[in-house]
Structure 1
Amino acid sequence: MPSTTPHPINILLIGGCGHWAATENHIPAILTLQRQGSPVRVGAICDLRDPYDENLLRHMPDLLDLLRWDRPQWIQPRPGEPVEDLERRLDAAHARRPFDVAIVACDPVAHHPYLHWATSRGIHVLCDKPIVAVPDAAWDVHAAATIDTQFDTLLKAHLDRPGHLFALPMRRRANDAFVDSSRLIANVYKNHQQPLTMGNFTVTGGHFRLPEEYALGNAHGYTNGVGALAFSSYHYIDLMAWYLRLAQGPVTALRITNHYVRRVGDYLSTGQNQTLEALLRPRSQAPALPADLDRRTALAEMDFAFTLELLDDARRVHGYLTYTFTSNSYSHRQVGLLDADRAGHLPFREKGRMSQFVIDIHQGPLQHVRVSKNDVVGDRYRIRLEHRRNPLIDPSGGRHADALYENAHSASKVTPQAMTAEFLRAAAGCTPDQSVARRMTHLAGQTLTQRIYAAMYRLIAARHEADTAAHRTAMPSVLVDIPR
């Protein structure tokens, strides 16, 4: 039974040297728990980079504090190391002092081996998005097909262990602006049974890179043959799944169609990077380098557009969702490539990345909800929520309602750090804080999101196969059943 007295927790932190884990979320949350007296300890950090590297610690004071207090073992994955060998080394560390929790915050293409290892041993898992990313899924149809397979394997292993915790700190599912928008949708559905009929998700990442920077790795890199769909997009795919389930009505399946893909190689071949690059090069702190992008990097997806038709059991169309992502639009970038980036001594800096989106949701003739944002990543985070209701169901006469969320992430009632801390408290057997727990996302609850995400990769890979075939084939679609 849960209690207020936690039992000791030993953590395996995978990807602990990244900016998200070491600066923004996991390590700060762990340090806060330790200062509050919770018996939480990081026993090992598994990362390609040495957490004790002074060049790295110069920029990560929270990681430095953790190292001083916990002195975790460094487990370094070896390039090309077979999964079985890595598992043996993890097992050896687990045998010396068993891990209670694995926090997985490494490059998403490396998630699955760690997730499967921890889950099969009954170790509780907190995993950053996306759950599964498969190298070369943007162009290899066989690789894309394994996304569903790997997720199903994880889900079965998790469900086979009653009491096993497997959660994701999905920032947007916890953010006040998106929670409030979800309540508007759920309220109209509850009172009037009006399902979702249309949704437009338009996202513009605005992340300008110099050509040679596409050859850099890190969690938002393209060198593994996957790009923006696996990283920035997963949040918005999850929002689509969440909003749809809140007002699903008779819809039981989705017909997903890909209408457009632009890959890294396509973008660079058009020369569209040259205008801002010409302004940026004189300010750069390092000389230009040859791009020399390999094939898998050039084929990674940058921009794309999908439609999702909402179907009932008779395959009648009740509405549609659209998702459009553009990764290079307006950018305020004014700095160049630093040697520290090449050496891996810095977290991946934003380099002028913008965060721009407009999400329009319609529930037939009864309600329109809009969520929008347009600002610099790492600066002010302002989200605007607007909605109108038909005057027949709204005593205000249908007047426009508007809310503005300043510093929307840090000022939210529940932050990613709060979710990490709550997960660790739950793993320690404490009584859950319901204000945080109800905004947590768990593995089984990500099934629809994963199905949509995997289908989109299958379509992106199929488009490449069609583009390289002797005869262009018809635009394919994928049918996804909504889990009951």
Structure 2
Amino acid sequence: MVGVEQFPASWQVLPAAVRSVLDTVVIRERIRAVIVATEPSVHMPYVLWALERGLSVLLDKPLSVHTGASVDPESARTIAEDFDTLMDAYRKACLRDPGVVVSVMSQRRWHPAFQRMRDLIAEVAQVTNCPITNIQSSHSDGQWRLPDELVNLGYHGFDRGYGKAAHSGYHEFDIVPWLLAAGERPGKELDEVEVHAHVARPADTLAQLTVADHERLFPGFAERNPYGHTELQQLTSAFGEVDVFLSMAYRSGDRTMTLGSINLAHHTFSQRGSLEPALAGLYKGNGRIGQETHIIQQGPFQALHFHCLQTLHDDEPGVDRAAVGGADHVTVHVFRNNRLRPDWKRHTTLDFADLTQGAGPGAALPTQRSSRNRAVTEFLHYLTGRTPRGHMVSDLATHRRPARLMAGAYLSMAHRFTSTGPAPVRLSFRSALTGMEDHLVPLEAAR
């Protein structure tokens, strides 16, 4: 373990002292690759340093974020520019050393349920020429922060002017366009997205559940909490988003191909029941429960319903981990128009067992844990020559659309907050890979 001194999140280049420490370690230990899993506001300088050094990178999500992104339009706009900066550095690094790779930890791309849904979408698009026409996505995680914790706990907090969309929202920003791409057909390619955000910030959640409400719910809270309701409203007025609801229109030319929504929420069903948290960070554990749904319509031909509905994260006697409410619950419902195509089944349910790929210790399970393991293993296999570059599932070059969606979400939030521009934001959504096409192959070939 080697410590480096902290530096402002606004710096896009590592300070000389930090570079010196890291360069020394790279030379001494003959490092070839790094994992960047810092606070996301400083992802950029570390990745740029690594690429300059010719190091491959496993990059945690999101690619980047900036202080004040949900309250300052310039900070939000920079998120889109960051992708171009990273890609420019990536191209230059590959010219110097073709073996350099940047893989992004968007683990849903490795998740068997999402891979199966992508295959089903592509199959129907091939037969009918119909893209995805509607997609509704929702992710909630029950992160219940009490009023004083909104101010006092900074880890994955809201005080930097961003929140849920940067904490875990990138997973949805990534997987939605990844699924949409499976349904794109010649002449129906998506080239623009319009994003409109509605936000609930800490000041709003304090109106939903007031200080007085918390005093009634938790004996002892009044003695612990040093802040009054009015003071908390003032302190948190410019904090980042706790919950955000996004509506999107994905267009090809001047025609809407797909309508969509992404609902990202912390302030949801939780299993926290105590005043004092078991873990100080509050981001993991402490009753934080993930529930995720995707409802996909492919015109009159197919509907897919993905449900991951947890009520606990850990083992509990008598609870089936894969059953509804279990720690590993996942189900995909497939509906198809079998009156048009008698060879299609009207309804198919894919459960945990149906979605498991392989057998034994090496099986690809339909869980986030297993998918994260696959992402890391793929990166290590690439470094040791066992996975070709073109088979990498989440190469940085394929993340232009997720970066644009995240930038659009924050730009809409910031415009709404400052009243300085239109809340609906329109961004280019073309999937150009900016010069990296020759290195990549479709996921189907990779599998």
- TM-score (norm. length: structure 1): 0.74
1:40 paired residue number: none
* Counterpart AA for 2:269: Y
2:38 paired residue number: 106
Q: Kindly indicate whether the alpha-carbon contact (under 8 Å) linking 2:48 and 2:86 is maintained by their aligned counterparts in 1.
A: yes
**C-alpha displacement of 1:262:** 1.4
Q: Kindly indicate whether the alpha-carbon contact (under 8 Å) linking 1:169 and 1:440 is maintained by their aligned counterparts in 2.
A: no
SS class of match (2:310): strand
2:219 paired residue number: 282
Structure 1 position 75 matched with structure 2 position 30? no
Cα displacement string for residues 13-34 of structure 1 (whole angstroms, at most 9, x for unaligned residues):
xxxxxxxxxxxxxxxxxxxxxx
Structure 1 position 246 matched with structure 2 position 182? yes
Structure 1 position 426 matched with structure 2 position 362? no
Cα displacement string for residues 203-225 of structure 1 (whole angstroms, at most 9, x for unaligned residues):
33322111122235565222321
* Counterpart AA for 1:423: F
CA 1:186/1:138 → structure 2, altered by over 3 Å: closer, same or farther?
same
Query: C-alpha distance in 1, partners of 2:111/2:392?
Result: 9
Q: Kindly indicate whether the alpha-carbon contact (under 8 Å) linking 1:371 and 1:385 is maintained by their aligned counterparts in 2.
A: yes
Cα displacement string for residues 141-163 of structure 1 (whole angstroms, at most 9, x for unaligned residues):
11111112222111111122222
Structure 1 position 331 matched with structure 2 position 279? no
2:240 paired residue number: 300
Query: C-alpha distance in 1, partners of 2:168/2:15?
Result: 31
Query: C-alpha distance in 2, partners of 1:187/1:216?
Result: 50
1:310 paired residue number: 250
**C-alpha displacement of 1:118:** 0.5
Q: Kindly indicate whether the alpha-carbon contact (under 8 Å) linking 1:283 and 1:335 is maintained by their aligned counterparts in 2.
A: no
Query: C-alpha distance in 2, partners of 1:225/1:241?
Result: 26
Q: Kindly indicate whether the alpha-carbon contact (under 8 Å) linking 2:37 and 2:60 is maintained by their aligned counterparts in 1.
A: yes
**C-alpha displacement of 1:298:** 4.3
Cα displacement string for residues 316-344 of structure 1 (whole angstroms, at most 9, x for unaligned residues):
22331112223212222112335962xxx
Identity level (%): 24
* Counterpart AA for 2:291: Q
Structure 1 position 444 matched with structure 2 position 397? yes
Query: C-alpha distance in 2, partners of 1:287/1:423?
Result: 46
Q: Kindly indicate whether the alpha-carbon contact (under 8 Å) linking 2:112 and 2:364 is maintained by their aligned counterparts in 1.
A: no
CA 1:203/1:460 → structure 2, altered by over 3 Å: closer, same or farther?
same
- TM-score (norm. length: structure 2): 0.80
Query: C-alpha distance in 2, partners of 1:357/1:482?
Result: 27
Please list every run of 5 or more consecutive structure 1 residues that lacks an aligned counterpart in the other structure: 1-72
* Counterpart AA for 2:192: L
**C-alpha displacement of 1:297:** 7.6
**C-alpha displacement of 1:257:** 2.9
* Counterpart AA for 2:252: D
Query: C-alpha distance in 2, partners of 1:439/1:124?
Result: 13
Structure 1 position 416 matched with structure 2 position 402? no
Total equivalences in the alignment: 398
SS class of match (1:208): coil
Query: C-alpha distance in 2, partners of 1:254/1:276?
Result: 44
* Counterpart AA for 1:74: V
Query: C-alpha distance in 1, partners of 2:429/2:287?
Result: 39
Q: Kindly indicate whether the alpha-carbon contact (under 8 Å) linking 2:150 and 2:157 is maintained by their aligned counterparts in 1.
A: yes
Q: Kindly indicate whether the alpha-carbon contact (under 8 Å) linking 2:107 and 2:372 is maintained by their aligned counterparts in 1.
A: yes
Identify the structure with the greater strand proportion: 1
1:402 paired residue number: 349
Q: How does 1:453-468 map to 2 (within 5 A)?
A: 453-466=406-419
CA 1:355/1:340 → structure 2, altered by over 3 Å: closer, same or farther?
closer
CA 1:242/1:214 → structure 2, altered by over 3 Å: closer, same or farther?
same
Query: C-alpha distance in 2, partners of 1:410/1:371?
Result: 18
Q: 1:381 aligns with which of 328, 337, 340?
A: 328
* Counterpart AA for 1:263: R
**C-alpha displacement of 1:169:** 2.8
Query: C-alpha distance in 2, partners of 1:92/1:364?
Result: 57
SS class of match (1:245): helix
Query: C-alpha distance in 2, partners of 1:124/1:377?
Result: 36
CA 1:137/1:75 → structure 2, altered by over 3 Å: closer, same or farther?
same
CA 1:150/1:224 → structure 2, altered by over 3 Å: closer, same or farther?
same
Query: C-alpha distance in 2, partners of 1:276/1:388?
Result: 44
Structure 1 position 258 matched with structure 2 position 186? no
Q: Kindly indicate whether the alpha-carbon contact (under 8 Å) linking 1:373 and 1:382 is maintained by their aligned counterparts in 2.
A: yes
Query: C-alpha distance in 2, partners of 1:474/1:133?
Result: 21
Query: C-alpha distance in 2, partners of 1:178/1:138?
Result: 29
2:322 paired residue number: none
SS class of match (2:180): helix
CA 1:263/1:402 → structure 2, altered by over 3 Å: closer, same or farther?
same
Query: C-alpha distance in 2, partners of 1:340/1:367?
Result: 44
Cα displacement string for residues 424-479 of structure 1 (whole angstroms, at most 9, x for unaligned residues):
23223x22289xx957311001111111111111111111111xx6xxx6543223
